[in-house]
Amino acid sequence: MSSTIQIVQEQEQISWTQFKWSQWQMYIAATSHGLCYVNTPDASFDIMSSWLQRHYPKHRIVQNDEGLTLYVEQLTQYFEGNRKEFELTLDLSSGTKFQQSVWAELGKLPHGSTHTYSDLANSIGRPTASRAVGAAIGANPLLIVVPCHRVIGKSGALTGYRAGMPVKTKLLQLEGSL
C-alpha cells in the first residue's frame, strides 16, 4: 500500500478596507509587504478587485478593517491637514523596474510642491523619457500616498490625472500648491 503526502501551502492574503473622507470613499489594500493599492475616489470595489487579481493572482482578497487601521489613520491625518509625509511600508512590486524608479522618485516630491514630467525624467537619469515617465505615473497604484498629483505640465498647467482633474485640483489645494 502506498500513501500520498500532500503539502498544502497557505495562500498569501491581501487585506482591504474602505476609507472615507468627506464626500470621497476609496478602497485600499495591502499585502504582507505593505500598502499596495489606493483606489480613485468613488471607484467601485470591482475596479480594485480586478486590479488586485491581475497583479497578485495567487493571493486571496479579504476584508480586514482592523489590519489596515494605520493606513486609514495616516490618510485621514493627511486629508485633515495634519500630515505632510506618510510613514508607511509600501509594496510597489506590481510595477516594472522603470515604473518602480518613477514611483520612488514621486515619493520624494515634497508636500506642497509641483514638478514637471521633465523634472522627474531628469531626476531618474532619463532626460528624454518624459512620455514614459507619464505612462508610469498613470500606472501608479498608490494614489495620494505616492503623490503623482504633484506632477504638472511643463507650461505649469494641470495635466491629466487618473482620478480626474477635480480630484487633482482638490489635492493640490489641500497641500497649498494652487
Is residue 48 pLDDT above 90, yes or no?
A: yes
* Residue 130 neighbours by CB distance under 10 Å: 17
Is residue 5 pLDDT above 80, yes or no?
A: no
Which uninterrupted H or E stretch holds 29? strand 24-31
74: left (phi over 0), alpha (psi -120 to 50) or beta: alpha
Please state at what angle helix 130-138 crosses helix 97-106, rounded to 10 degrees.
80
Active site residues: 148
- Domains located in the chain, CATH noted: 13-79 (3.30.160), 97-175 (1.10.10.10)
Is residue 7 pLDDT above 80, yes or no?
A: no
pLDDT classification of 156: cutoffs 50, 70, 90: confident
- pTM value is 0.89
Is residue 79 pLDDT above 50, yes or no?
A: yes
How many residues are listed for the chain in this entry? 178
Q: Answer with the residue of higher pLDDT: 8 or 81.
A: 81
Q: Coil, helix or strand for 50?
A: helix
Q: Compute CA 21 distance to the chain's CA centroid, rounded to the nearest angstrom.
A: 17
- If you average pLDDT over every residue of the chain, what do you get? 92
Contacts of 52 (CB under 8 A, 6+ apart): 14, 16, 29, 36, 37, 59, 61
For residues 18 and 8, give the distance between their C-alpha atoms in angstroms, rounded to a whole number: 31
pLDDT of 160 reads 83
What is the mean pLDDT of the segment spanning 97-106?
Answer: 96
What is the mean pLDDT of the segment spanning 132-142?
Answer: 95
Q: Coil, helix or strand for 36?
A: strand
* Residue 74 neighbours by CB distance under 10 Å: 18
Residue percentage of the chain with pLDDT more than 90: 83
Distances (CA, A) of 144 to 2, 20, 119, 122, 137: 57, 14, 19, 22, 12
User: pLDDT (tens digit, 9 = 90+) per residue, 106-130?
Assistant: 999 999 999 999 999 999 999 999 9
pLDDT of 3 reads 55
pLDDT of 53 reads 96
Residue percentage of the chain with pLDDT more than 70: 94
